[in-house]
Amino acid sequence: MGSKNNGRTTLEVGADGVAVITIINPPVNSLSPDVLHSLKESYDEALQRDDVKAIVVTGTNGKFSGGFDITSFDGMQSGKVEQPKLGFVSVEIVSDTLEAAKKPSVAAIDGLALGGGLEVAMACHARISTPTAQLGLPELQLGVIPGFGGTQRLPRLVGLTKSLEMMLTSKPVKGEEAVGLGLVDAVVSSHELIETARRWTLDILARRKPWVATLYKTEKLEPLGEAREIFNFARAQARKRAPNLKHPLVCIDVIEEGIVAGPRAGLWKEAEAFQVLLKSDTCKSLVHIFFAMRGTSKVPGITDRGLMPRQVRKVAVLGGGLMGSGIATALILCNYTVILKEVNEKFLEAGIDRVKANLQSRVKKGKMSQEKFEKTISLLSGVLDYERFRDVDMVIEAVIENVSLKQQIFADLEKFCSPHCILASNTSTIDLNLIGERTKSQDRIVGAHFFSPAHVMPLLEIVRTRQTSPQIIVDMLDVGKKIKKTPIVVGNCTGFAVNRMFFSYTQLGLFLVERGTDVYRIDRVITKFGMPMGPFRLADLVGFGVAIASGMQFIENFPERTYKSMLVPLMQEDKRTGEGTRKGFYSYDNKRKPSPDPELYKYIEKSRSISGVAVDPKFVKLSDKDIVEMIFFPVVNETCRVLAEGIAVKAADLDIASVMGMGFPPYRGGIMFWADSLGSKYIYCRLEEWTKMYGEFFKPCAFLAEMAAKGAPLSAAVEQAKSRL
């Protein structure tokens, strides 16, 4: 199958006649083609040897297996690596060698058994796990379905409803839940795991415990009529949740085949579907996102220097507003001690109340116990001055966007904090060099740009200036990881990476509306493309105050590519500023449900007349494809500039920025990956055509022009991007 030597299994036979087969392929013991071959060989050997009575399968270093080796997907997709013949793993190895073996086997699961890892475990005749082990079939998050028999065995162990939930959401269960579900047979601590599994397999041999071939179990399966209803419900849910995705529906079909036509038929249908889905654009995009997410914390010149992150124990947050309180919440949730500073008692109390409310909402949803709430909130204390800042390891400033205020704060911080303290600002627009102008500490000033609500949104932009020291970036990356954010390291400029993309996105909506495209149609088309909401619904949600403030920054810094429409200011004049005022592009009822508002057309008319633009029938009848391209190609253009200016290290980081910061659909691989699927030349030509018709605003940047001329993909251009850092 594969050519690279990539992992193996070992076989050790004890005096009790139990052979322990151990999967070894760090870091997660993934099932590479080599591991799978070796697993078959170890099994064949154990089955042949007379001194082996029974088998235990386990993984090295406290991890059973993280599943099929995702790094081998690329080779199989491009045809560089030969795909295993149909059914080789699921039928020949997993079913006909492991499950059909004449000697009993038990899986000893610690750490994780995901995807193919759990599928191997389910083919054993029993499973023992540790209470915290994670067991799941997360293949759908990679655009494929379980391919080693998981679609057939999981329903037979836990029932249809739970197995569908586990596969369709890709969420694992912990060992302690798994035992209740029937997925594992017993839960024991790590140090008892192998011994218990050895005894268990000998007990099976002696018929003191059942010898179960899961593929043929039926008692957990619902009767056919009921099963059909469950499938139909699951299909309706899958269509509603992700209308553009086919593989969840394929997964349901494959499970159904096993119920209707028997598990062997199900296995073959699964094998065929897996091979087809592996080559789909959705799978390629989602696998790209998987690796891109893990790649954002690998920053050339920073994380390859052997620097170790310093320990951050205590963090001070300045400002208890929406952002500051969200940041404080994110920190205490991950066990950091936090001091929240405000300017007076009233603001301080309000800030602490916001943090409490953030935690309480978890308690209400049953995600946090009252006891955990008390323990978490005890990590937070409030102050009105800098006295207690002397022993903090990091400060995150999150006050209003006012340059002189921030300059004063950083000058004060330099006086009160220790010289090792990291000085971070949550500014979303202001130049960090300006913020640190009145200090001598430029080397430890860094941007920590959170997205609202900060305790929920997964992205963190870490902004570095030319002076920020690599150690500070390494420290920030570590804190980011500990508070469960995906960090992207970016350079210092107006709007950094995410807001620059966002700005193009919202502006183009205004351009189209002034020429006659319907507001609500644009939102519908963009939602159908896969964004969580269209640009107008989003503007309402965020509130026009933010849109206007960042708009001003862009007009100032990038005037040649700012579309100047009066629509938003006109609405603001009438106090229509979005969801907060119950009226924006939509009107909102008591439950904040949006509906189209005919009054909006009055404002559109007025802004058209100010801009001197007439309705163009072409724009009234624009196709869905044209709407998508006119909204997103300028975003691609701006993203190219961000890359070419060296604001981002690599295109894949911008894919993650678009997915996690903007809500760009991950199954399209992020903005640059999607652009490359269409081709740089095509995007360049369309932008050129629009530039001629509608002005400089659409003009493709030099980087895009260069890539188009070479016929090169935008994401292959890392070397060309000259870093400004």
Ligand X SMILES: C[C@H](O)CC(=O)SCCNC(=O)CCNC(=O)[C@H](O)C(C)(C)COP(=O)(O)OP(=O)(O)OC[C@H]1O[C@@H](n2cnc3c(N)ncnc32)[C@H](O)[C@@H]1OP(=O)(O)O
Catalytic amino acids?
119, 139
- Give how far Cα 694 sits from Cα of 563, 616, 619, 697, Å: 11, 12, 12, 8
CB neighbour list of residue 151: distance below 8 Å, 6 or more residues apart: 145, 167, 251, 254, 255, 258, 266, 270
Dmax over CA atoms of the chain, in Å, equals 91
| Complex with ligand X: residue 29 or 329, whichever CB lies closer | 29
Cβ 183 to ligand X, closest distance in Å?
Answer: 16
- Torsion, CA 355, CA 356, CA 358, CA 362, rounded to 10: 150
> What is the distance between the alpha carbons of residues 291 and 691, in angstroms, rounded to a whole number?
36
> What is the distance between the alpha carbons of residues 88 and 102, in angstroms, rounded to a whole number?
20
Tell me which residues touch ligand X (CB under 6 A): 27-28, 30, 66-71, 112, 114-116, 119, 138-139, 142, 146-148, 150, 294
DSSP-assigned states of every residue in 129-158: E-TT-EEE--GGGGTS---SSHHHHHHHHH
CB neighbour list of residue 433: distance below 8 Å, 6 or more residues apart: 442, 465, 467, 492
Nearest alpha carbon to residue 661 among 454, 499, 503: 499
| Complex with ligand X: residue 144 or 432, whichever CB lies closer | 144
| Complex with ligand X: residue 171 or 602, whichever CB lies closer | 171
Instruction: State which residue has the least CB distance to ligand X.
Output: 115
| Complex with ligand X: residue 147 or 319, whichever CB lies closer | 147
| Complex with ligand X: residue 27 or 612, whichever CB lies closer | 27
- Torsion, CA 121, CA 10, CA 6, CA 39, rounded to 10: -40
Burial of 598 (0-12, 13-18, 19+ CB in 10 A): exposed
Cβ 68 to ligand X, closest distance in Å?
Answer: 3
| Complex with ligand X: residue 147 or 436, whichever CB lies closer | 147
- Torsion, CA 244, CA 247, CA 251, CA 256, rounded to 10: 60
> What is the distance between the alpha carbons of residues 684 and 699, in angstroms, rounded to a whole number?
9
> What is the distance between the alpha carbons of residues 364 and 141, in angstroms, rounded to a whole number?
28
Cβ 665 to ligand X, closest distance in Å?
Answer: 19
> What is the distance between the alpha carbons of residues 492 and 57, in angstroms, rounded to a whole number?
51
| Complex with ligand X: residue 138 or 263, whichever CB lies closer | 138
Cβ 138 to ligand X, closest distance in Å?
Answer: 4
Cβ 30 to ligand X, closest distance in Å?
Answer: 4
Cβ 119 to ligand X, closest distance in Å?
Answer: 6
Tokens encoding 530: 């896969």
Cβ 177 to ligand X, closest distance in Å?
Answer: 17
> What is the distance between the alpha carbons of residues 192 and 486, in angstroms, rounded to a whole number?
36
